Amino acid sequence: MLSIIRERLRQGHRTGKYPKEEPQLPERFRGLPQLTRDLSPQACAAAVAGCPFAALSNNDDTLQINLGRCLFCADCPAAEQGALTFSNDYRLATRKHEDLLLGDEVYRLTDRLNKRMRKLFGRSLKLRQVSAGGCNACEADLNVLGTLGFDLGRFGIQFVASPRHADGIMVTGPVSENMKSALLDTYAAVPEPKLVIASGACAIGGGPFRDSPEVNNGIGDLLPVDLFIPGCPPHPYTALDGLLRLLGRL
């Protein structure tokens, strides 16, 4: 027992200091995209056509990015030509699907829930995570939130085993046809009022599987979504930031 106590004292406090202090992310981390310069109409059209995930669009010869579809791969013509770069900003979550569209304007982050919902969930939020055909990358990064480095439970947020014990569901994956009914049944089992969170490009818009006959292009037309967390996969801090902003904790 004494050796355990000595080792615990040696290791010290391992939980991160977020949100009191900003997390230190590596330089190669790809966060909020930035449009750094204009392209010619021809180059803009080529960039839009060159994105296999339809994440780029042309708005009056100006690039626009749909963060719900972007995989942050940096392989598109716009990134290769220097018109699109990625910042170190991990804050990406939004409340509305239309807010995922990024142009020259300031990116709109998550609004908090209304007063009634914050009173219900602000100090204790239980979520049932549903993997609806995902590759396990988003699921793995959500699991990391339960480790001592992030310690999601200190904010009163926990993942639970049963939807009947949950206040909402957090969905990952493009919603394959085989998982569609299971997802809807899980949502139906959560008592009202409830939240729906789409985590990752697949859950938001189908990701790399978009328009495949085997998937539903995410959950947007199946369930009312309260929080969109972009990324492929979203960084744990991106998910945590979105959850805390949704609950009015930031």
> What are 68-127's pLDDT values in tens digits?
999 998 887 777 777 788 899 999 999 999 999 887 677 889 899 999 999 999 899 999
Bond from prior residue into 233 cis (ω within 30 degrees of 0):
yes
pTM: 0.91
Q: Does residue 5 belong to any structural domain of this protein? A: no
Higher pLDDT, 245 or 10: 245
Q: Does residue 21 belong to any structural domain of this protein? A: no
| pLDDT reading at 61 higher than 70 | no
Q: Does residue 235 belong to any structural domain of this protein? A: yes
Q: What is the predicted pLDDT for the residue at 37? A: 65
Q: Does residue 79 belong to any structural domain of this protein? A: no
Q: What is the predicted pLDDT for the residue at 30? A: 92
Beta bridge partners of 220: none
Q: Which domain holds residue 156?
A: 115-246
Q: Does residue 19 belong to any structural domain of this protein? A: no
- What average pLDDT does the chain have? 89
Q: Does residue 83 belong to any structural domain of this protein? A: no
pLDDT cut 90: percent of the chain above it: 57
Give the pLDDT mean for 158-166.
95
We report the CATH number of the domain holding residue 179 as: 3.40.50.12280
| pLDDT reading at 179 higher than 80 | yes
What confidence tens digit (pLDDT) does each residue in 24-59 have?
A: 899 899 999 888 767 777 777 887 888 888 888 877
| pLDDT reading at 173 higher than 70 | yes
Number of domains in the chain: 1
Q: Does residue 146 belong to any structural domain of this protein? A: yes
